[in-house]
Structure 1
Amino acid sequence: MSGAEETRDLALLEQIARNDRKAIALLYQRHHLRLYRFLLRFVKNEAQAEELVNETFIDVWRGAGKFEGRSQVSSWILSIGRNKALSLLRKRSDAELDDEYASGLEDESDTPEVMTLKQDKAAAMRLCINRLSDEHREVIDLVYYQEKAIKEIAVILSVPENTVKTRVFHARKNLSDLLAKSGIDRGWP
């Protein structure tokens, strides 16, 4: 994110702290899609991801005046959303499995459909990323899809920068191994 965009986000937060409804609408327009995609990878349910986006921006509305500037505004928003998603996942794991959730669980055996997907590199990449641990999938998403720096990821995850570096290293290695097992050349940056 450029310095000008960050300056604009900070100005919007100041306006939101003064109850400016137009400012929250503008901030929402700027960040909702990226947040939605990030949360969808977490919860794997479009309706729940959309609800989490709405809840996140309600918290942004309420907490705009408390923003301390220790991270970029976009990282702060992702962090709020991530915490909401983790809370939802904890509740979900305590609840009984419903049919929709159970049908979303991966079958480890190769079906003809899975074999067909393996021929498509992008589909194979998604399958391999989904097989990573939650921690590794999360850092891959933040680095490559959200384009966050190590420092920003550390803020979002509330862990030291060296922990982020270690997770990224292991995530890339595990992803590379999974891709090789799927017959995909390394081709990973």
Structure 2
Amino acid sequence: MEEELKWIQEVLTGNKQAYSHIIDKYKNLLYATVLRMTKNPQIAQDLVQEAFIKVYHQLGKFDHKGSFSSWIYRVTINHCMDEFRKKSYQLKQVQINEERVEDSNHPEIILLKKEKSRQLERLISTLPEDERLIILLRYVNELSYEEISELVEVPLSGVRNKLHRAKKKMRETINREGGYFYELSEGR
């Protein structure tokens, strides 16, 4: 955090090169988040570039009350949501990266893991947009409840409630349709 504050100060005092450090630190994390929202690499790349421009111009508005990472996520997600509304994009289902599936030489294991990923992707895609976003931020981006609350500007209790409701809906779908997710179907 101290390093980020140093970079922010340098940018604000005219050293535009210091902004490259911020971009390097956050470009992959922001791209992964936006890609999961859009499910389109080109659109995700464009939105992240636009978000970095917006962050640059709003850097003076960072108030140091929360973490910089939460702030930059919030600016990026707000930018994306604005663009979705403008261009009538729909948040598409989350895509689980199948290359991240554990390597195993046994074809049946690979097939089962891919099927489980597809089922999870489908389950998440059935959730309302706000719950889907909170699930992604919590379990894909591994943000804390506090960071999510700050990012989506929902009280902490609201984040917990939305997360609980989303998992409950996923459990109900599993119980109704069957599936691989023992941990969800058993209410864990």
The bucket for the TM-score relative to the shorter chain is 0.7 to 0.9
Asked if 1:17 is matched to 2:8, the reply is no
Decide whether the 8 Å contact of 1:28 with 1:57 is kept in 2.
yes
Structure 1 unaligned runs (5+)? 1-5, 96-100, 106-115
**TM-score, length basis structure 2:** 0.78
Structure 2 unaligned runs (5+)? 94-110
How much does 1:129 deviate? 1.1
Deviating beyond 6 angstroms after TM superposition, the runs of 4 or more aligned structure 1 residues are 116-119
CA distance in 2, matches of 1:182, 1:71: 42
Relative to 1, partners in 2 of residues 1:177 and 1:75: Cα closer, same or farther, differing over 3 Å? same
CA distance in 2, matches of 1:182, 1:36: 33
Indicate the residue corresponding to 2:47 in structure 1. Answer: 52
Relative to 1, partners in 2 of residues 1:84 and 1:182: Cα closer, same or farther, differing over 3 Å? farther
Decide whether the 8 Å contact of 1:56 with 1:80 is kept in 2.
yes
Q: In structure 2, the residue corresponding to 1:120 is in which secondary structure?
A: helix
CA distance in 1, matches of 2:172, 2:180: 10
Q: Which shifted more, 23-32 or 119-128?
A: 119-128
Query: Which residue among 134, 145, 158 is the counterpart of 2:153?
Result: 158
Q: In structure 1, the residue corresponding to 2:4 is in which secondary structure?
A: helix
CA distance in 1, matches of 2:3, 2:178: 44
Indicate the residue corresponding to 2:180 in structure 1. Answer: 184
Decide whether the 8 Å contact of 1:117 with 1:124 is kept in 2.
no
CA distance in 1, matches of 2:138, 2:58: 26
Decide whether the 8 Å contact of 1:17 with 1:61 is kept in 2.
no
Asked if 1:68 is matched to 2:63, the reply is yes
CA distance in 1, matches of 2:66, 2:147: 7
How much does 1:84 deviate? 1.1
Percent identity between matched residues is 27
Q: In structure 1, the residue corresponding to 2:180 is in which secondary structure?
A: coil
Q: Which shifted more, 118-127 or 60-69?
A: 118-127
Q: In structure 2, the residue corresponding to 1:187 is in which secondary structure?
A: helix
Asked if 1:31 is matched to 2:26, the reply is yes
Query: Which residue among 153, 173, 179 is the counterpart of 2:168?
Result: 173
Q: In structure 2, the residue corresponding to 1:58 is in which secondary structure?
A: helix
> Deviation digits for residues 94-116 of structure 1, max 9, x if unmatched?
x8xxxxx8xx79xxxxxxxxxx8
Aligned-CA RMSD value: 2.4
Query: Which residue among 47, 68, 89 is the counterpart of 2:84?
Result: 89
Relative to 1, partners in 2 of residues 1:8 and 1:119: Cα closer, same or farther, differing over 3 Å? closer
CA distance in 2, matches of 1:17, 1:152: 25
Asked if 1:143 is matched to 2:142, the reply is no
